[in-house]
């Protein structure tokens, strides 16, 4: 499969090791057949080097006279370098680490990439440039995007990419970093403008994957691959047209639980559908729910210790059977001090109080003292606190949301 010109697709090739031909041994990349569209790369400055993927840099546009002149000049430089050795060795020998390659232009014509290890660069006739193959990252600053349904959001992105063809990255584009940033910005604006506000909020991971694929289509001829695109929703600047309900704000990433973003989103949508079904109830139900908030027995509590006393008085075997989980609370006071509390609803009538249980809790919850009191008083719902970032959950989100059962039990007592 040829890398340039008309071909059925792109294929990653192993980077050469010490100027050897490309082989099937593992290199920086293996075969990658995701991009199977037909491409025509005519017009690039490497059009006369059609077999780069096979490490064949023969330039057939070079005439016989030019070839003879190049051969003579190269021979003379080799001869002078050999005569002045070892003094010339300090200038012509370069040490290239494993994560870099040297792209050489000899008398203006491209040569195979050199490295890793000790490589020879001839003086006067060789111009060379180092290419770093390690993964790099940059961020797209938040920009305003008008959604398909008329909303206005501020969205940014974190992007990771790496170079898989040193020659293409040097020859195909003048400023690789600036071109990649501009491509990422334009691709993000075009993709998100075709989505609704709800799709952007609930499918950020999926949209990031599609955005990465679209960017790879454009950056593949540059010898660059986009590894990861993570969209960052800064905020909703304008609601969609048509009187839609309030926006859904997805929860922030929890340290150590970044890989659970997809399942957490699915659970969030599950609880959202439940909350929407409750808001769709008749008006009389809404009035009675507001009355319940005013009659919460924990409304007069002003400290977490007092709240634990109220919770301890309503614990029962039935409540333990419904919840069946052990909770650890890390509560931050107004003075900045962090206090630990537990709530064990796994056996007997349950228990709660200050301190840390010797066993491992099912869920750890981190929040401020005011938010905890507001949540148990019914002013702040657990899912709303989690969605807004005021409640940080370490563990199963579904288990954490079972606190709603305890809160409802407090209202009825």
CA 65 and chain centroid, separation: 53
Question: Rounded to an integer, what distance in angstroms lies between the CA atom of residue 34 and that of residue 10?
Answer: 8
User: What is the per-residue pLDDT for 406?
Assistant: 84
Question: Rounded to an integer, what distance in angstroms lies between the CA atom of residue 97 and that of residue 93?
Answer: 13
User: What is the per-residue pLDDT for 8?
Assistant: 34
Find out whether 319 and 406 touch, Cβ atoms under 8 Å: yes
| Contact partners, residue 169, CB within 8 Å, separation at least 6 | 131, 163, 176, 222, 223, 224
User: What is the per-residue pLDDT for 322?
Assistant: 85
User: What is the per-residue pLDDT for 297?
Assistant: 52
User: What confidence tens digit (pLDDT) does each residue in 70-124 have?
Assistant: 899 999 999 999 999 888 888 899 999 999 999 999 998 888 899 899 999 999 9
| DSSP state string for 41-76 | -TTSTTTT-TBGGGTB---TT--HHHHHHHHHHHHH
Tens place of pLDDT per residue across the chain (413 aa): 333 333 334 344 444 433 333 333 333 333 333 333 344 444 454 554 545 655 566 666 678 888 899 899 999 999 999 999 888 888 899 999 999 999 999 998 888 899 899 999 999 999 999 999 999 999 989 999 999 888 899 999 999 999 988 988 998 888 888 999 999 999 999 999 999 988 888 888 999 999 999 999 899 888 899 999 999 988 888 888 754 444 444 444 444 444 444 445 545 544 554 444 444 444 333 333 333 333 345 566 778 888 888 888 888 888 888 888 889 898 988 877 888 998 888 888 888 888 888 778 888 888 888 888 888 887 788 877 777 778 888 888 888 888 888 888 777 76
Angle of CA points 52, 58, 59, to nearest 5°: 105
**Token pair belonging to 402:** 């079972």
| Contact partners, residue 207, CB within 8 Å, separation at least 6 | 191, 192, 195, 199, 200, 231
User: What is the per-residue pLDDT for 347?
Assistant: 85
Find out whether 336 and 298 touch, Cβ atoms under 8 Å: no
User: What is the per-residue pLDDT for 51?
Assistant: 58
Question: Rounded to an integer, what distance in angstroms lies between the CA atom of residue 122 and that of residue 74?
Answer: 9
The answer, as to whether pTM is greater than 0.75, is no
User: What is the per-residue pLDDT for 300?
Assistant: 62
**Token pair belonging to 117:** 């290890």
């Amino acid at each position: 499969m040829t890398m340039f010109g008309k071909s059925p697709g792109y294929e990653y090739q192993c980077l050469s090791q010490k100027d050897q031909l490309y082989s099937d041994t593992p290199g920086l990349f293996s075969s990658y057949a995701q991009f199977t569209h037909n491409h025509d790369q005519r017009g690039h400055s490497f059009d006369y080097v059609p077999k780069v993927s096979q490490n064949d840099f023969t330039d057939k546009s070079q005439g016989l006279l030019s070839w003879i002149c190049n051969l003579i000049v190269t021979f003379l430089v080799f001869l002078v370098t050999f005569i002045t050795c070892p003094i010339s060795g300090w200038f012509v020998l370069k040490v290239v680490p494993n994560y870099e390659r040297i792209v050489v232009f000899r008398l203006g014509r491209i040569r195979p990439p050199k490295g890793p290890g000790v490589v020879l660069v001839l003086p006067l006739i060789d111009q060379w440039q180092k290419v770093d193959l390690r993964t790099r990252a940059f961020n797209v600053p938040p920009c305003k995007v008008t959604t398909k349904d008329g909303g206005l959001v501020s969205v940014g992105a974190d992007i990771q990419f790496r170079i898989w063809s040193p020659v293409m990255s040097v020859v195909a584009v003048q400023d690789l970093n600036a071109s990649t940033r501009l491509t990422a910005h334009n691709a993000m604006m075009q993709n998100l403008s075709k989505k609704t506000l709800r799709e952007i909020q609930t499918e950020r991971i999926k949209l990031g994957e599609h955005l990465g694929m679209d960017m790879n289509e454009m950056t593949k001829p540059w010898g660059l691959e986009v590894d990861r695109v993570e969209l960052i929703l800064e905020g909703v600047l304008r609601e969609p047209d048509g009187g839609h309900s309030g926006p859904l704000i997805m929860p922030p990433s929890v340290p150590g639980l970044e890989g659970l973003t997809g399942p957490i989103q699915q659970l969030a949508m599950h609880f959202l559908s439940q909350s929407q079904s409750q808001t769709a109830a008749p008006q009389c139900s809404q009035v009675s729910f507001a009355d319940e908030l005013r009659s919460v027995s924990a409304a007069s509590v002003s400290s977490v210790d007092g709240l634990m006393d109220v919770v301890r008085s309503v614990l029962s075997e039935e409540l333990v059977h419904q919840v069946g989980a052990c909770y650890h609370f890390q509560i931050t006071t107004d003075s900045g001090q962090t206090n630990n509390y537990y709530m064990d609803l796994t056996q007997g009538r349950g228990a709660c109080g200050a301190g840390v249980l010797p066993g491992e809790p099912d869920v750890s919850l981190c929040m401020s003292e005011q938010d905890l009191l507001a949540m148990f008083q019914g002013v702040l719902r657990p899912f709303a606190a989690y969605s807004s970032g005021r409640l940080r959950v370490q563990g199963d989100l579904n288990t954490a949301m079972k606190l709603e059962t305890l809160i409802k039990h407090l209202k009825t007592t």
